[in-house]
Amino acid sequence: MAENNRAVVRLREKFAASIIEVVEFRGEVTVTVKKSDIIPVLSFLKQSLQYNLLTDVTAVDYLGKKEDRFMMVYQLYSIPVKDRLRIKTAVSEADCRIPSATQVWQTANWLEREVYDLFGIIFENHPDLRRILMADDWEGHPLRKDYPLQGPGREPYKGRLS
């Protein structure tokens, strides 16, 4: 159970006011935290609980479904303990910014650049925030659900978003 997970127990002790939701699905534990506390939570997980590997950073676009359009997703792994943990935090379209995790893991550098390029989420204090997959003069962010299916300059998809 997620409530007995060692990381969840310790996070509840130290960051009780920061935790929005804890979910376990098919053996995977996901903890959703407040955006304002993302760096302290990630730092604690690395330094105190040995989640020493950031395996992925990505985003999900909930266009039209949630108040906060984007959800940042951090996939962590503890090599010594052999445990995986997913940390999520919401990012609104109005304030499409989040602190960079490069201060915690250097591997966040390219992962955050990919999210910036494809979703348009800005990572504050990132050491080199620029496009990584699309050309420098590319317009828009291709993984946003309102991005035109036929490319820039075309009508956005107006069908059902699922």
* pLDDT tens digit sequence for 11-26: 999 999 999 999 999 9
SS3 133: coil
137 falls within a domain: no
pLDDT tens-digit readout, 49-98:
999 999 999 999 999 888 899 999 999 999 999 999 999 999 999 999 99
Give me the CATH number covering residue 32: 3.30.460.80
Does 130 map to a domain? no
At position 147, the amino acid (one-letter code) is Y
What are the structure tokens assigned to 4, written together? 């007995």
Q: Which domain holds residue 39?
A: 2-92
Local confidence band at 35 (pLDDT 50, 70, 90 cut-offs): very high
| Under 8 Å between Cβ of 12 and 19 | yes
Residue 107, in any domain of the structure:
no
Number of domains in the chain: 1
